[in-house]
Amino acid sequence: MVRRKIRRMRASRRHGWGKHHRGKGNKGGSGNAGRGKRSDHKKPSYREKRLGKYGFTSHSRRTRDTTISFAVLEDKLQTWLDKKLVEEKDGVIIVDLGKLGYTKLLASGKLTRKLRISVPTASKRAVEKIKEAGGEAS
């Protein structure tokens, strides 16, 4: 009686085929197959993770505001005056923050000069501080 291969290969993982006999190459299958779902090949990193697609992708085109505070504004003001990016008329400095690349003005910091500021958006407290210092905001 001839001893058949199937009998000899019992309890061996591959039954004589090596590891390159899966039909989907050497990656364990298609999709998420081979990622620790089999009992003889469990990986701890995949136990808690859900399989398949989950979550969402936001397709909104909303951009974040480029903000500047009074503290930073005071530091940069003299440099902008030297480079003639802002101008001074009658003791009031005219600043167009939109042209300088800023979209929102925040109120943190002290304001020591009179300013006429034009900016797309500003916080309520920032507008109050500009008016308290004798300036304008638009």
Give pLDDT tens digits for 110-138. 888 899 999 999 999 999 999 998 888 88
Q: What is the pTM of this model?
A: 0.54
Domains belonging to the chain, first-starting first, are 1-55 (no CATH), 67-137 (3.100.10.10)
Give pLDDT tens digits for 77-105. 999 999 999 999 988 999 999 999 999 99
pLDDT for res 121: 92
Residue 23 has pLDDT above 90, yes or no: no
pLDDT for res 34: 55
pLDDT for res 116: 93
Contacts 24+ apart (CB under 8 A), 30-33: none
Residue 135 to residues 10, 88, 92, 118, Cα–Cα distance (Å): 89, 13, 7, 11
Question: How far apart (Å, rounded) are the C-alpha atoms in residues 37 and 35?
Answer: 6
Give pLDDT tens digits for 35-54. 555 555 555 655 566 666 77
Which of 12-16, 31-35, 37-41: highest mean pLDDT? Answer: 12-16
User: Contact 91/114 with Cβ under 8 angstroms?
Assistant: yes
Phi, psi of 116 (to 5 degrees): -115, 105
How many beta carbons lie within 10 A of that of residue 70, not counting itself? Answer: 23
pLDDT for res 106: 93
Helix (H) or strand (E) holding 28: none
Going by pLDDT thresholds of 50, 70 and 90, the confidence category of residue 57 is confident
Task: Write the CB contacts of 138 (distance below 8 Å, at least 6 apart in sequence).
Answer: 116, 117, 118
